[in-house]
Amino acid sequence: ELVLKVRIQNPNLRENDFIEIELDRQELTYKELLQVSCRELGVNPEHVQKIRKLPNTMLRKDKDVARLQDFQELELVLTVSDKNLLFRAPTLSERSGYNKKASELTY
């Protein structure tokens, strides 16, 4: 697994901590990075304008993602500033640690 540090770009927040996400090294694509980051941060992927590798590099394609190293810092730059439109609560199946097989057990 590749471990990355991700946060939402927001200069107005006093505390804007990173979270760590894991990506399967066999599936290092821009789309997968976007989906996992948005799911973990509770952001709608449609509101992401770009993904920035800090301090100042925009990720644009799968090859950019493939070059990432463990614990690199990324920011999601969002297009919408209205908090109500920005964040959504992840569904149960989207939450980290959700076990689909366990939820299908029958008695």
Instruction: Indicate which CATH number applies to the domain containing 28.
Output: 3.10.20.90
Residue 101 in this model has a pLDDT that exceeds 80: no
Measured from the Cβ of residue 106, the count of other Cβ atoms closer than 10 Å reads: 3
In 3D space, the residue among 9, 20, 75, 86 whose CA is nearest the CA of residue 47 turns out to be 86
Residue 3, C-beta contacts closer than 8 angstroms, at least 6 positions apart: 20, 21, 22, 70, 71
41 domain-assigned? yes
Top pLDDT among 16 and 54 is at 54
Amino acid at 8: I
33 domain-assigned? yes
83 domain-assigned? no
Task: Give the pLDDT score at 99.
Answer: 52
Containing structural domain, residue 25: 2-78
- Count of domains for the chain: 1
pLDDT in tens, 33-63: 999 999 999 999 999 999 999 999 999 999 9
